[in-house]
Amino acid sequence: MNPRSDASNLSNQFLIAMPGMVDSSFAGSVIYVCEHSARGALGLVINRPTDIVLKDLFDRIELPLEQPELAARTVYYGGPVQTERGFVLHDPTDRAYASTLQVAGGLQMTTSKDVLEHISASDGPKRFFVALGYSGWSAGQLEDEISRNGWLTVEADSNIVFEVAVEQRFDAAMSLMGISAMSLSNTAGHA
């Protein structure tokens, strides 16, 4: 997969924070972009675990967790916006949940409780990622941050979201570009 230089639509892309990222919410992060348009962008940080597990989350929303093997599964920090709200990133399904965003060429993101009910009952998506909060940018903000070398972008690989250990996701996303995190500099050069 090749890095994208076209920032016109970054949906189904990873944003990889450059070493000079000063915002502590994003330093060292990899973000899966769920939506990008002229109005702005929305994504989920995929490599920031919290100390909350699914059992805690299900208890908090008063939903029984019928699958005990899921109880210790990590809930992630998706970003600094609406940190009390849950976001479930998952493989595409034929099921219609109450509030699902279809990412063009990629995954689905559901914000309604019904997806958790189906996961609990073992008839939801098999591969899923649960986060609290999201990362958001207003119109033109993300493009500006990219132009100032704040982020690298590359087409997302869902296996990194679902299959790669959290501590290896940054390096795995970088490898999609054929580079190593060790080769990055926190200063930018301009011709």
Residue 134 to residues 68, 89, 190, Cα–Cα distance (Å): 27, 11, 32
Domain spanning 13-183, CATH architecture: 3-Layer(aba) Sandwich (3.40)
Tell me the average pLDDT across 120-141.
94
Cα angle 158-82-107, degrees, rounded to a multiple of 5: 20
What confidence score (pLDDT) does residue 23 get?
81
Dist. CA 188–CA 158, nearest whole Å: 29
Using 50, 70 and 90 to split pLDDT, how confident is the model at 182? Answer: low
Inform me whether the pLDDT recorded for 5 exceeds 80: no
Dist. CA 44–CA 31, nearest whole Å: 5
Using 50, 70 and 90 to split pLDDT, how confident is the model at 2? Answer: very low
Structure tokens at 124: 């939801």
Q: Does the global pTM surpass 0.85?
A: yes
Is residue 49 within 8 A of residue 166, CB to CB? The reply is yes
Q: Which residues contact 68 (CB under 8 A, 6 or more apart)?
A: none
Tell me the average pLDDT across 161-171.
97
Q: Is the backbone of residue 147 left (phi > 0), alpha (psi -120 to 50) or beta?
A: alpha
Element (H, E) at 145: helix 141-147
Domain chopping of the chain, boundaries: 13-183
What confidence score (pLDDT) does residue 189 get?
47
Q: Using one digit for the tens of pLDDT, what is the confidence trace for 57-112? A: 999 999 999 888 999 999 999 999 999 999 999 999 988 899 999 998 889 999 99
Inform me whether the pLDDT recorded for 1 exceeds 90: no
β 151-155/30-37 pair status: unpaired
Inform me whether the pLDDT recorded for 129 exceeds 80: yes
